[in-house]
Amino acid sequence: MSDNQVTSKGSYRQRSGRLIRKRGKKVGAAPGTLIHIGAVSTDEIRIRRIIYNPTTLDEATLQQAAQCTPPSTPSDLAWFNIDGLHNADVIRKLGDTFRLHPLIMEDILNTDHRPKIEVHENYLYIVLKMLQYRDDSRSIAIEQVSLIVGDNYVLSFQEQQGDVFDGVRERLRSGWRIRQLGTDYLAYALIDAIVDNYFLILEKLGDEIEDLEQELIERPTPATLHTIHHFKREMLLLRKAVWPLREVLSSLSRDEDVVRNSEIRLFLRDVYDHSIHIMDNIDTLRDMLTGLLDLYVSSVSQRMNEIMKVLTIFASIFMPLTFIAGVYGMNFDYMPELAVRWAYPAVLLLMFAVGAGLLMYFKWRKWL
Amino acid sequence: MSDNQVTSKGSYRQRSGRLIRKRGKKVGAAPGTLIHIGAVSTDEIRIRRIIYNPTTLDEATLQQAAQCTPPSTPSDLAWFNIDGLHNADVIRKLGDTFRLHPLIMEDILNTDHRPKIEVHENYLYIVLKMLQYRDDSRSIAIEQVSLIVGDNYVLSFQEQQGDVFDGVRERLRSGWRIRQLGTDYLAYALIDAIVDNYFLILEKLGDEIEDLEQELIERPTPATLHTIHHFKREMLLLRKAVWPLREVLSSLSRDEDVVRNSEIRLFLRDVYDHSIHIMDNIDTLRDMLTGLLDLYVSSVSQRMNEIMKVLTIFASIFMPLTFIAGVYGMNFDYMPELAVRWAYPAVLLLMFAVGAGLLMYFKWRKWL
Amino acid sequence: MSDNQVTSKGSYRQRSGRLIRKRGKKVGAAPGTLIHIGAVSTDEIRIRRIIYNPTTLDEATLQQAAQCTPPSTPSDLAWFNIDGLHNADVIRKLGDTFRLHPLIMEDILNTDHRPKIEVHENYLYIVLKMLQYRDDSRSIAIEQVSLIVGDNYVLSFQEQQGDVFDGVRERLRSGWRIRQLGTDYLAYALIDAIVDNYFLILEKLGDEIEDLEQELIERPTPATLHTIHHFKREMLLLRKAVWPLREVLSSLSRDEDVVRNSEIRLFLRDVYDHSIHIMDNIDTLRDMLTGLLDLYVSSVSQRMNEIMKVLTIFASIFMPLTFIAGVYGMNFDYMPELAVRWAYPAVLLLMFAVGAGLLMYFKWRKWL
Amino acid sequence: MSDNQVTSKGSYRQRSGRLIRKRGKKVGAAPGTLIHIGAVSTDEIRIRRIIYNPTTLDEATLQQAAQCTPPSTPSDLAWFNIDGLHNADVIRKLGDTFRLHPLIMEDILNTDHRPKIEVHENYLYIVLKMLQYRDDSRSIAIEQVSLIVGDNYVLSFQEQQGDVFDGVRERLRSGWRIRQLGTDYLAYALIDAIVDNYFLILEKLGDEIEDLEQELIERPTPATLHTIHHFKREMLLLRKAVWPLREVLSSLSRDEDVVRNSEIRLFLRDVYDHSIHIMDNIDTLRDMLTGLLDLYVSSVSQRMNEIMKVLTIFASIFMPLTFIAGVYGMNFDYMPELAVRWAYPAVLLLMFAVGAGLLMYFKWRKWL
Amino acid sequence: MSDNQVTSKGSYRQRSGRLIRKRGKKVGAAPGTLIHIGAVSTDEIRIRRIIYNPTTLDEATLQQAAQCTPPSTPSDLAWFNIDGLHNADVIRKLGDTFRLHPLIMEDILNTDHRPKIEVHENYLYIVLKMLQYRDDSRSIAIEQVSLIVGDNYVLSFQEQQGDVFDGVRERLRSGWRIRQLGTDYLAYALIDAIVDNYFLILEKLGDEIEDLEQELIERPTPATLHTIHHFKREMLLLRKAVWPLREVLSSLSRDEDVVRNSEIRLFLRDVYDHSIHIMDNIDTLRDMLTGLLDLYVSSVSQRMNEIMKVLTIFASIFMPLTFIAGVYGMNFDYMPELAVRWAYPAVLLLMFAVGAGLLMYFKWRKWL
């Protein structure tokens, strides 16, 4: 899905997202310079067009960016979904056709952006992060999605093929209410699909973290520690991707100049509530992971105590006994005890008494 | 009461609430799609209706959702309490009867919601969390309660049977002021019952945590650590459930468009104060638990020190003595000391001196 | 003074305030139900009345709540101080006489309240926490004080006898400016007395914590750890009691509708500054305690290191020596060294060399 | 300079500032009661007067508070600098002469105040903290400075002799712009001198903390730990003294009613920027100290590991060897090996093999 | 680039930036006193002038500050770039020519400033921090850049030669849009170059931190700990330098009085978004480093456990065996076992059984 998933094998580092994405060296370049920032994929750029109105729907996969034009029929609405951003020419042509601001074209290509919304005269520009959970590496792949919402068209730009929009496509095909409302409703549907998918991610993370908790209580290993760290890192990246979403949705659901249809603002308000709820859940999971780390560290200390007790008990009992044995192993010519008949059993008894006494002492100190 | 209490046996994980509730796979589905999210119970859905006015009161348990209609007599007020949400048809029928927005019906069924309030043209929609403390598992069960407050009816939706509203029912039956005021007063009474119950929960948690503190000071065990962790987790879930309540109550008690009766706003202001107080208490308990964890870790370190001291004292005293004994246990032919008559007592004396000297050294270092 | 001081002996838990006060079971009860929440004392409720005007002053201890009435002479002002809240009847009678709202009567009896201010038509209702430091248990007793400030009367409700108002009484008797200003000035004087007392508490806590720091640096013991924990807990309860005070005083000192006399608002502004200062001090003490805990934990680790070094040095030196002695203690028939005349001194020399070499190694590693 | 510097010898506690200053017992006393709170010094109170106008300047040291009067010539401005606050009479006389509010006189004497500004009809009242770094004890002495800024006079009250105003005095004498502008410019110059001095303090603290870091990396000792704690404590007190300064300066630099001259507001805006910068620096140093403590604790753990490894390697190698030697030191009559000629070298070889094998095992585990 | 890079060899302390920059002693000096605060360089001050209009461009390196004058031709714009601040005279001459406020000249020379913006009548004054990553010392060099943006000129002051403006110079020479827009666009281009460079720094830090993470998981050493600490320190200084940038850019991009051209405000809004994104990244890296430290500490504890286990297993097995051997090495005359023929093999068997039993015990406790 995203660049940091190209190599899915190897250590945690290779599997999980890079902390800071590469941007290429462009310090001092003019604004609007189109440079793709992200993994360079060899896949073709794929453009899927859906033109629809309340009664008809036409789906097509376009070969040329030049074929992308706003629908000519007044009642028609068009959704262009572009998979792949590595060919700046394609994006430039689209930008020219739909008269996008150069800074926006630059932003679409730069996949290291915070989620944001920009209101332009003829269109909205929305940047979001689409997430995907990789079961094999237990990591989250983050892909940037840019939406351009015009009066009668929606452009959606994704980094790679594969998305969470199949449900929306299905609803478009089955002709439900979605075809009777404008492009802002379509944009809402796309945003809703992205945000709903976050809940799935959080559920999976929640399950993993609960398994981890169970493992930690029953049988902590050094690997457990690395897994806690791995998930903390994932939560960090997740939080960074989701946090600015709230502002975007707040602006969409409240500002009458941004979305004019009050009914759709109501729907967006619902998505906004979801985004708040997602942040709550992320924070809860983060607190949980912090708690697990505390528990791990405390358990390790506790275990160390147990080990030390065993060592101390053994050493404290056998060192005096070995010393006594050593004394009577000395080879002095005049050691009167050695000749005494009951000396040997007496010494054995003494040893037993010392050992038993020390055991009782440890029992009294509650070490046993 | 709630789904996460169905299995009350087993480990902590099974006993306490899941971190993230399951939502089912509905990414990209149309808004307003009614899917129940939560534990599926085999109990019947139970609808209890109370129709009342200042002089009369009529209680009934309805078999059919179709029987739920707003009271026809102008002065009558109706309270419909619905236990169980697993049958979407029932909810849809109710929603149609009372003309609820599809998004609201979806929200009622989705039991993984933050507490919130929505003001609609003909009714208020309020989501709250009802808590119940399980003594056997020492965990908090969280159940979602949705209220629809219309002009002459109140709908309350619960996930399962059993609630904290018996006091309100009693007051309705005994005909006190509650029957002379409108549905907003009834809604206030229900919210007040839910919030008052939080204090009982906090009292129990406070007692448990004080017992834990006592146990920690007198006799910490590894189980103590797990208990601290368990309560930290409960507080995390509790906080998530209660935190958004403040906004709900603030909105209810301040906004004249939401609750028109200023007297009832005064009562709601009181509940709002309680919710602030509850958050204070939750934060105090959380800080307390953090303090207990610190205390535990420090105690374990301290204990380790004690153990190490004992080990070091034993080892440091007996190792030199054993070495001396070992020297005179060597079998060299020419060891002139061995033949000296007073050598044995002299060596014993030397040993005693070494041992005593080391003991004094440890005393001087305050290890004894 | 307050309920949690009734048992002054025993462990820390018994001595210090409960984390969460008991409220009794009243979930779902009607608002305004008068239930005393707090310790039930067997002392009589005591009512002290002071009626004063610029020229005269009359003090009396009343037997009956019925005797409490607003002063009839226009220029007279009355202060009723009620010690003890366990008799709801007394409070109800007072409430009826002074026409208090049922919710306020409920709040006066419920001693588990956050400090707050409520502005009613004919009076102000202020809740504060009065603190007392118990030297024997080194803990803070928290008592709730409720003030009702009417045009020509002030009611002050305390949980038990004993307060910080003696200075105010003295000033009333000595006829200074306090008798020439209205009830809001009297209320200011009472609040000022309560807040000034906080500084005394903080001074004592500050002294205790500095002693603790000294003890920690010179001679840390496990008891030190428990004392740190004890004070952290006290600070937690103290902070909870004082934090909301700022809002109360901010409201009193800024809002012209609450206190009409601008001169008195100036005085209240001064108390407000004090409350900010107190919060600063509380936070400083809390940070200090956190620092002490860090210091303790680090000291324990450091000490462990010292102990381990001693052990390691002893063990590492004597184990090889004992082994050498053991080798020449073996009973093989053919051990040619044993017969060599200079073997014994040579082995002793070898032992000395090994020991000295190891000591030098440890010196080089800076363990000595 | 300040009271907590009177005793400059002894432990950290005596050298660094008290956490909470003593206030004396005045609970319930009337507002405006003049009680000096702070160290009682036996030095005389010293009053230095500078009367100046653009052309002339007159300096004098006054013996009597009665000699302090606002300048009579219209164009003259006067600066009275009072060192020492222990004589309440002097302050009262000054207060009477300049008609100060009783609460302000009380505040000037009470040296435990937060920095604050109060705007009165005829003058401004500003409280600041003047700092001084004591190299011998590596601690910060905090002294309270109160400024009264009237139309043609400035009063500055200090706790003891010695201040940071010499530069201002020099500029007054040398007749630069300072003599052509009003008292608010003089007040600005005094505040600027106090705030600039904070940078010197921070530089010194920064140097000390960098030395500490170096020491910690190269050679941590238990004393390092106490020094970290000591500086954390100093930063705590420093932060408490400086934090409220921002509000004071913000108010001075923004509010046109407070400082009318916009040019001077610009200068004050500059001081405000400095105060923000100082807070940034304080926070950076605090974070740095926290980092040093973490580093210390981690280093200690790391060192413990090293020590444990040495112990374990020695013990694990010599214990088996000593055991083998012990076996052949047994005195059984029938131990056939003892009579074998090559048994002794064979056992020595076995011992060597065991030792070498264990060493290789530890090498393989990377302990060596 | 900056003063703290003059000595690039030696320990971390010398290599990384000082915590608090030196300011020189100027407490009480008059505002506007020109004192250079920073490293004194022996390099000459270099002034580069670029005069341009849409059609022509003229570059020159000036020898004299006197040659710096605003362009006389109305359509011309001039950019003066001054490298080096150690000669206050040069700055004073420039200040006089362009009529800068004395406080601003003072601020330009004082290189220890927070990023800020000041709006003056005829020009904007902007302070920024230019960063450079030193690969050899893995540290960030921080240099202060001051911009004066007038109607037809821009002055940029740097501490030393070498900057990030080469891209801007190239664009000026190649005659793109930058030459057709005003000085505010040039200022935008310079700010954009500085901010874009931050991303490069963060990328490098991100890579270093990921390498560190990898090292920590695979092979932690004490040096790893110091590297974590080193990067935490760098992040601290970085954060302090970047944090106030947001306010500067927010003010530039929003306030119509500051930048009149709405198109340029749009560009600045883009830079503002970048600054937010940079802060997000800094916080993520800081959290990551905190996580690494936790991981390190936990790993060390875990390793200690492993070491202790090995020690305990060895000691616990060989101590009893050595004791048994010691018993039969005693020299009592009457030890009947010694004469028994099968006693020796029996004792060997006993030893084997004890050893095996202990091994099984440790296996059962999962220590093996």
Most confident option among A94-108, C208-222, D349-363, E244-258: D349-363
Report if residue C182 sits inside a domain: yes
Which residues partner with D78 through β-bridges?
D51, D153
State residue E352's pLDDT score. Answer: 96
d(CA D298, CA D310): 19
pLDDT at B36: 73
E-interface mutation test, from A310, A327, A347, A352, most E Cβ less than 10 A away: A310
Residue C276 and residue C243: Cα distance in Å, rounded?
9
pLDDT grade, residue E337 (50/70/90)? confident
Residues E272 and D241: their CA atoms lie apart, in Å, by: 34
Average pLDDT over every residue of E52-71: 86
Least confident of B30-44, C330-344, E179-193: B30-44
Lowest mean pLDDT among B37-41, C70-74, E353-357: B37-41
pLDDT of residue C160: 82
CB contact under 8 A, A314 and E335: no
- Output DSSP code: residue E260: -
Say whether C196 and D26 touch across the interface (CB within 8 A): yes
Q: Which of A7, A23, A100, A229 to mutate to test the interface with E (most CBs of E within 10 A)?
A: A229
Torsion of CA D248, D249, D254, D260, to 10 degrees: 90
- Is residue C138 scored above 90 in pLDDT? no
Decide if pLDDT at B1 tops 70. no
D110-132 confidence digits (pLDDT tens): 888 889 998 888 899 999 999 98
Question: From edge to edge, which strands make up the β-sheet containing A153-158?
Answer: A57-62, A46-52, A77-83, A153-158, A139-149, A124-134, A116-119
Whether residue D80 contacts residue D156, with contact meaning beta carbons closer than 8 Å, is answered with yes
Q: Cα–Cα distance between B13 and B34 in angstroms, integer?
A: 30
**Nearest 5 degrees, angle CA C133-CA C138-CA C142?**
40
Is the pLDDT at A12 greater than 60? The verdict is no
Question: For residue C14, is pLDDT > 50?
Answer: no
Instruction: Tell me: pLDDT of A62 over 90.
Output: no
Tell me what the mean pLDDT of segment C33-40 comes to: 69
Same domain, C289 and C333: no
Check which CATH number belongs to the domain holding A346 and give it. 1.20.58.340
Residue type at C32? G
Instruction: Give tens-digit pLDDT for D33-54.
Output: 777 766 655 567 889 999 998 8
Structural tokens at position D296: 């210390």
CB atoms within 10 A of CB D121: 6
Backbone angles phi, psi at B292, to 5 degrees: -65, -40
pLDDT digits (tens, 9 = 90+) for C174-218: 876 788 888 989 999 999 999 989 988 998 999 899 999 988 888
Average pLDDT over residues A34-48: 73
pLDDT tens per residue across span E213-267? 988 888 888 888 999 999 999 999 899 888 899 888 988 888 887 787 888 888 8
Q: What is the mean pLDDT of residues D74-98?
A: 87
Tell me how close the Cα of A207 comes to any Cα of chain E, in angstroms: 22
User: What's the pLDDT tens digit per position in C93-108?
Assistant: 888 889 888 888 888 8
What does the DSSP 8-state code read for residue D114?
-
The answer to whether residues B216 and B292 touch, using CB atoms and an 8 Å cutoff, is: yes
- In the block, residue with structure tokens 């153990």: B307
CA distance B192 to B183: 14
Residues B233 and B339 in one domain: no
E233 HSE (CA, 13 A, CB side): 28
Nearest-angstrom CA–CA distance, B75 and A132: 55
Q: What is the pLDDT of residues A124-159, one digit of tens each?
A: 999 999 998 888 888 888 899 999 999 899 999 998
Residue B307: inside a domain: no
Give the per-residue pLDDT at D40: 59
Burial B39-59 (b: 16+ CB within 10 A, else e): bebeeebebbbbbbeeeeeee
Q: Is residue C312 part of a domain?
A: no
Locus of tokens 């075809």 = A179
Among chain C residues, the shortest Cα distance to B365 is held by C307
Residue A6 confidence (pLDDT) above 80: no
Q: What is the pLDDT of residue E10?
A: 35
pLDDT at C282: 93
Share of chain E above pLDDT 90, in %: 35
Min Cα distance B44 → chain A (Å) is 28
Could D103 and C266 be called an inter-chain contact, meaning their C-beta atoms sit closer than 8 Å?
yes
Residues C7 and C117 in one domain: yes
Q: Which residues of C142-178 are buried (b: 16+ CB within 10 A; e: fewer)?
A: bbbbbbbbbebbbbbbbbbeebbbebbbebbeeeeeb
Q: What is residue E3's predicted lDDT score, i.e. its pLDDT?
A: 38
Domain end position, chosen among B298, B317, B351: B298
DSSP H helical ranges for chain B: 12-15, 88-97, 102-109, 166-173, 183-218, 222-242, 245-254, 262-327, 343-364
Domain C-terminal end among C248, C276, C298? C298
pLDDT for the residue numbered C12: 41
pLDDT over 80 at D23, yes or no: no
Please give the average per-residue pLDDT across E131-143, as a whole number.
87
Which of D167, D171, D331 comes nearest E328 by C-beta? D331
pLDDT, average across residues E260-280: 88
Q: Which positions in chain A touch E329 (Cβ < 8 Å)?
A: 325, 329
CATH number at residue D294: 3.30.460.20
User: What is the amino acid identity at position A278?
Assistant: I
CA distance C302 to D230: 17
CA distance A117 to chain B (A): 21
On chain A, the residues whose CB falls within 8 A of the CB of B300 are 298, 301-302, 305
Q: What is the pLDDT of residue E353?
A: 96
pLDDT at D13: 39
Smallest CA-to-CA distance from B367 within D283, D167, D181, C309 is with: C309
Across A167-179, average pLDDT: 84
Q: What is the pLDDT of residue B46?
A: 87
- Amino acid at residue number C222: P
Query: From the list D170, D273, D284, which residue is nearest E116 (CB)?
Result: D273
Q: Is A267's CB within 8 Å of B103's CB?
A: yes
Does any domain span residue B305? Answer: no
pLDDT tops 70 at residue A228: yes
Summarised one tens digit per residue, pLDDT across range C119-131 is 888 899 999 999 9
Please judge whether D298 and E301 are an interchain contact, meaning their C-beta atoms are less than 8 angstroms apart.
Answer: no
pLDDT in tens, B127-161: 999 998 888 888 888 899 999 999 899 999 998 88
One domain for residues B270 and B199: yes
Does the pLDDT at position A312 exceed 60?
A: yes
Specify burial of residue B228 (Cβ count, 10 A radius: 0-12, 13-18, 19+).
buried
Look up residue B118 and give its two tokens. 């929505």
Q: Give the gyration radius of chain B's Cα atoms.
A: 34
> What pLDDT, on a 0 to 100 scale, did the predictor assign at position B366?
82
pLDDT > 70 in chain E, percent? 90
Q: Of A177-191, A245-259, D313-327, where does the model show the most confidence?
A: D313-327
For residues B182 and B255, state if they share a domain: yes
Give me the sheet containing E57-62, strands edge to edge. Answer: E57-62, E46-52, E77-83, E153-158, E139-149, E124-134, E116-119
E225 in a domain, yes or no? Answer: yes
pLDDT at C358 over 60: yes
Give, for E251, the enclosing helix (H) or strand (E). Answer: helix E245-254
pLDDT at B6 over 80: no
Confidence of residue E282 (pLDDT cuts 50, 70, 90): very high
Structure tokens at D283: 């926070």
Q: Are residues B294 and B333 in the same domain?
A: no
Residue with tokens 């609430």: B17
pTM over 0.90: no
Quick one: pLDDT band at residue C3, thresholds 50, 70, 90? very low
* E321, part of any domain: no
Asked if A289 and A235 touch (Cβ cutoff 8 Å), the reply is yes
> Which of B15-19, B53-57, B195-199 shows the lowest mean pLDDT across its residues?
B15-19
In a domain, B189, yes or no: yes
Q: How many domains does chain D have?
A: 2
Share above pLDDT 70 across residues of chain C, in percent, rounded to a whole number? 90
To the nearest whole number, what is the mean pLDDT of chain C?
Answer: 85
CA pair distance A53, E327, nearest whole angstrom: 100
ipTM at complex level? 0.80
What lies within 8 Å, CB to CB, of D363 at 6+ separation is none
Say if residue B127 is in the same domain as residue B175. Answer: yes
Interchain CB distance below 8 Å, B19 and A299 = no
Instruction: Quote the pLDDT of residue E122.
Output: 87
Chain B residues in contact with A213 (beta carbon < 8 A) = 13
Mean pLDDT of chain B: 85
Give the residues across from B81 on adjacent strands: B48, B156
B273-287, B353-367, C66-80, C287-301: which range is least confident on average? C66-80
- State the DSSP string of B195-236: HHHHHHHHHHHHHHHHHHHHHHHH---HHHHHHHHHHHHHHH
Amino acid at A205: L
Please report the pLDDT score of residue E121 as a whole number. Answer: 84
Identify the three-state secondary structure at position D130: strand
What range defines the domain where residue A340 resides?
Answer: 307-364
Residues of A with CB below 8 A from B322's CB?
Answer: 319, 322-323, 326
State how far the alpha carbon of E59 is from the alpha carbons of D58, E45, E176, E183, E184, in Å. 57, 17, 16, 16, 20
Residue ranges of the alpha helices (H) in E111-182? 166-173
Residue D127, CA distances (Å) to D4, D87, D118, D194, D271 in order: 19, 19, 9, 12, 15
Q: Is the pLDDT of residue C292 over 90?
A: yes
Co-location of B292 and B148 in the same domain: yes
Residue in chain C nearest B167 by alpha carbon: C28
Residues E340, E229 within the same domain? no
Q: How far is CA D181 from the centre of its chain?
A: 34
Same domain, yes or no: D263 and D344: no
pLDDT for res C318: 94
Neighbours of E, requiring at least 3 CB pairs below 8 Å, are A, D
Return the structure tokens found at D99. 């008609």
Using a CB-CB cut-off of 8 Å, the residues of chain A touching B35 are none
B15 has a pLDDT exceeding 50: no
Q: How confident is the model at residue A26 (pLDDT cuts 50, 70, 90)?
A: low
What gap in Å lies between CA E254 and CA E250, rounded to an integer?
Answer: 6
Mutant choice from A12, A318, A323 vs E, greatest count of E C-beta within 10 A: A318
Average pLDDT, chain A: 85
Residue-wise pLDDT tens digits, C263-290: 888 888 889 988 999 999 999 999 999 9
Q: For chain D, count helices (H), then strands (E).
A: 9, 7
Do B131 and B234 reside in the same domain of the chain? Answer: yes
Residue C272 to residue A23: CA distance in whole angstroms: 52
Best CA proximity match to A267, nearest among A279, A278, A259: A259
The verdict on A239 and A348 lying in the same domain is no
Please identify which residue in the block is written with the tokens 């934990």.
C297
> Percentage of residues in chain A with pLDDT exceeding 90?
35
Q: Residue C145 has what pLDDT?
A: 93
In-domain check, residue D306: no
Kindly list the residues from chain C whose CB atom is less than 8 angstroms away from the CB atom of residue D229: 217, 291, 294-295
